[in-house]
Structure 1
Amino acid sequence: MSYENILLERENKISIITINRPESLNALNAKTIKEISSAIDELNEEESCRVIIITGNGVKSFVAGADIKEFSDFGQEKAEELARNGQNSLFNKIENSTKPVIAAVNGFALGGGLELAMACHIRYASENAKLGLPEVTLGLIPGYGGTQRLPKLVGKGLANEIIFSAKMISAQKAKEIGLVNEVFPIEELLFKTKELAHTIANNSPMAISKAISAVNLYDTEDGFETEIKYFGDLFDLKDKKEGVSAFLEKRKPNF
């Protein structure tokens, strides 16, 4: 399908979603959320797609936040609906995608932008990136999963500091606390992200899909039992047979 606020490219087993609203620093409005959600659905159905990258257009901003103009006059009921629809239609969908989603954070990742990056399975950032959750400066709190995903990534104390202070942190600081995996010069970011994506794309898509589901149950009562079940399930699938055969025959597997 065609999109207005995002660009969708396919490249040798990886697909790149570029949020394309540079005039508003790629802020998330309802239409953009809907288009990213549709693209995730589309790519999860494509067997040829193994890994998804999400990034922003330009060198200034990944996503500078939600488009405040859209909800400035909302009341309690409409605000709850906004948060619930956003989480269900996009942020949770990314986290539970059957294919790995990597955020290439190219600049500002604030509010909903940081929440979008945190919903992804892996985060690479450019050296100029600034990350934060400034919602309390508006009399609000993060509404797209920020209060839940940030403590899982950096711990409760640091999450509280970032949320309560509303301060932006540098990409290097984000790496030090585990919020992003790696930091690169802006001109290398997408290349390095694609490099990782291609490495992942050569591995078993069946195993990776199960791994996503298992890791998402980290630190829950069901985590270990789910891992055991998925480990067993994979023994009856073709990827395990190909992987083990390739190992024994000293060749690269063809998944």
Structure 2
Amino acid sequence: MKPFFEGDRYDTPENTPRYKLDRLMGNGRLYFHVTFFKTIIQSSRVAKKGLYDRAAWAQSSYKTFKLVEGCGGRFHITGLDYLRQPGPFVFVGNHMSGLETAVMPGIVAPFMPVTFVVKHTILDYPFFGEVVRATNPIPVGRTNPREDFQIVLREGVKALEEGTSVVIYPQHTRTMVFKPEEFNSMGIKLAKKAGVPVIPVAVKTDFWDYGRYLRDFGPIHRDRPIHIAFGEPFPIQNSKADHQRVIQFIQTCLQTWEKEDKLF
């Protein structure tokens, strides 16, 4: 499968136009969410037929990526060359919004087989649950940390041994503010157990905000740049120090982006 991105970084071209229908609907969220939901429905139909494979997953995710750009989103992605190194890997990153979940497969899956650690309740969502189940995720309850840890270790190691990389967001829930004390070391422990490298991931995806009544259907902020950074892969040698290394990577990226975005 050919990756959608060439080179080590990607920046949305400055002259990327907004979709006409999005412009006609002003600066609201309606066109974005309706079109995104249509993509989910289309993907669920493919999944029900047993045809939602890695290529289909990457393609539908990239379709959402282009939708974001067509609705005024501007991506800045760095560290893509690290994805070209031989894996598998454990990707460990902060979780800010639904945006990274939606577009990450389109970035990573063309380079390697990949799966996600997800909340098991997502599997019961109409349409979306069908899509997620087709990607062979690792579902956890997020209510019993010990049980979740055992599930992630068992299923995560199995996936990694089969050559499938694992993406894990070690926070209890999505949050716009990164709090290191809420960022557990589950990803580091999984990588150590499986004997594979970690790729730290930092995201700033507050372009897609939380909804007041429906969390996943919140407003979009076209003035907020979207940042995704992949760090250099590293083997686990000292779990505590390596956990701090991931935290430091995320904090440094977020601080840098905050300063850069204020200049524009």
TM-score normalized with structure 1 length = 0.35
Structure having the larger proportion of residues in helix? 1
Larger radius of gyration between Structure 1 and Structure 2: 1
Relative contact order, higher structure (CA 8 A, sep 6+): 2
